Chains A and B, each alone.
Chain A
Amino acid sequence: MSFTGIFHFFTNSPCDAAEPWQLGSQDAATPMMQGIIDLHHDIFFFLILILVFVSRILVRALWHFHSKKNPIPQRIVHGTTIEILRTIFPSIIPMFIAIPSFALLYSMDEVVVDPAMTIKAIGHQWYRSYEYSDYNSSDEQSLTFDSYTIPEDDPELGQSRLLEVDNRVVVPAKTHLRIIVTSADVPHSWAVPSSGVKCDAVPGRLNQISISVQREGVYYGQCSEICGTNHASIVVEAVSRKDYGSRVSNQLIPQTGEA
């Protein structure tokens, strides 16, 4: 941890942002991401099994059939038993990988329960606007705000470079959220690694993702589509349901006073 890193720790600790030289995934905030991490570990089990086994065969072959040790080449062309084995086993292993993989894939698509709220995330060049319109009683009034990335040259001490935004999306934790992702100009995307979500934002199309953030916190993401020079960051702040009510009525509405 560098000197500024220490400040980082004290001013605000972005527990759910990527850190330098990070190898694994960010901590899961949704059951979906937990599933992805578990699947990754499951597959890694097979991966290491295969790696060890194949390396062993390779090293043994190089060792035992070295020209100095074994100057006369073997004349065996094929062996039925080993050919059956090395066909059947490699076809069973992908099955063991595919079953949990498809189970996860389809469960992620499925909307199991009715969502409790809808947030619209609309990509623009280069910011994002969010609409909370569950409470609207007319077409005009809507809780809409823009979320701009804090420019590279003026993040405050402790803020992550090109990851922080001026207005965060506030969502209630432990609630089924429907996020409608779309774009107003070029294709963008809405991706937050710790929520396990990466969804294309296509103009003229509404893509739905359903997530349920399990713990309160601040989650960082970025546009994952090559949409221009400034990919807009995404910051999701999950708060308790209780706090959510006051945040929506106090914080978000004044900011959208002119909109």
Chain B
Amino acid sequence: MGEIELKTAPADFRFPTTNQSRHCFTRYIEFHRCVAAKGDEATECEKFAKYYRSLCPGEWVDRWNEQRENGIFPGPL
């Protein structure tokens, strides 16, 4: 296999600092808000999913998914 396309979450002007914790969290919320607004099958939400998966550690995402299932997610959805 040769060259593969490299693509990731872009730098976000809302999060210009070294600390990117909020960047990851915000992208996660944006995705779920997008899905809530446009439905599960909406393709325009997919980019937010890509962004948060690029930025957030898998462990964090797992924990948040669990919290959402139990209805105890701390963020505004």
The total of interchain contacts (Cβ-Cβ below 8 angstroms) comes to: 92
How long is the Cα–Cα vector from A133 to B62 in the complex, in angstroms? 14
Judged by a CB distance under 8 angstroms, whether A153 is at the interface is: no
Cβ of B10 and Cβ of A249 under 8 Å apart? no
Cβ of A205 and Cβ of B8 under 8 Å apart? no
Cβ of A246 and Cβ of B19 under 8 Å apart? no
Contact partner, A182, options B3, B11, B54, B57, Cβ 8 Å = B57
Name which of A116, A118, A122, A136 has the most chain B CB atoms within 10 A of its CB. A118
Cβ of A122 and Cβ of B1 under 8 Å apart? no
Cβ of A184 and Cβ of B59 under 8 Å apart? yes
Q: Give the Cβ gap from A246 to chain B, nearest Cβ, in Å.
A: 5
Give residues 37-70 of B contacting A (CB, 8 Å): 50, 53-59, 61-62, 65
Judged by a CB distance under 8 angstroms, whether B24 is at the interface is: yes
Judged by a CB distance under 8 angstroms, whether B14 is at the interface is: no
Contacts of B9 in A (CB 8 A): 118, 178
Contact partner, A133, options B1, B4, B16, B53, Cβ 8 Å = B53
Return the CB mask of A137-153 against B: 1 if under 8 Å, else 0: 00100101000000000
Name which of B1, B11, B16, B57 has the most chain A CB atoms within 10 A of its CB. B57
Judged by a CB distance under 8 angstroms, whether B6 is at the interface is: yes
Selecting from A23-31, A59-67, A69-77, A237-245, the interface stretch reads: A237-245
Return the CB mask of B3-38 against A: 1 if under 8 Å, else 0: 110111111000011111101100000000000000
Classify the interface of chain B: helix, strand, loop or mixed.
loop
Contacts of A172 in B (CB 8 A): 6
How long is the Cα–Cα vector from A226 to B18 in the complex, in angstroms? 22
Judged by a CB distance under 8 angstroms, whether B2 is at the interface is: yes
Contacts of A182 in B (CB 8 A): 57
Contacts of A204 in B (CB 8 A): 21
How many residues of A are in contact with the other chain, CB < 8 A? Answer: 38
Cβ of B10 and Cβ of A114 under 8 Å apart? yes
Contacts of B20 in A (CB 8 A): 180, 206-208
How long is the Cα–Cα vector from A113 to B8 in the complex, in angstroms? 12
Cβ of B62 and Cβ of A114 under 8 Å apart? no
Contact partner, A250, options B1, B55, B58, B65, Cβ 8 Å = B1
Q: Give the Cβ gap from B62 to chain A, nearest Cβ, in Å.
A: 7
Judged by a CB distance under 8 angstroms, whether A252 is at the interface is: no
Contacts of B50 in A (CB 8 A): 134, 136
Give residues 127-177 of A contacting B (CB, 8 Å): 131, 133-134, 136, 139, 142, 144, 172, 175
Cβ of B8 and Cβ of A178 under 8 Å apart? yes
Q: Give the Cβ gap from B7 to chain A, nearest Cβ, in Å.
A: 6
Known: A118-B55, A133-B58, A246-B1. A206 touches B6 (CB 8 A): no
The contact sample of 11 A-B pairs, CB cut-off 8 A, is A111-B16, A122-B59, A133-B54, A134-B7, A136-B53, A178-B8, A180-B57, A199-B18, A205-B19, A207-B18, A208-B20
Chain B contacts to A: CB under 8 angstroms: 1-4, 6-11, 16-21, 23-24, 50, 53-59, 61-62, 65
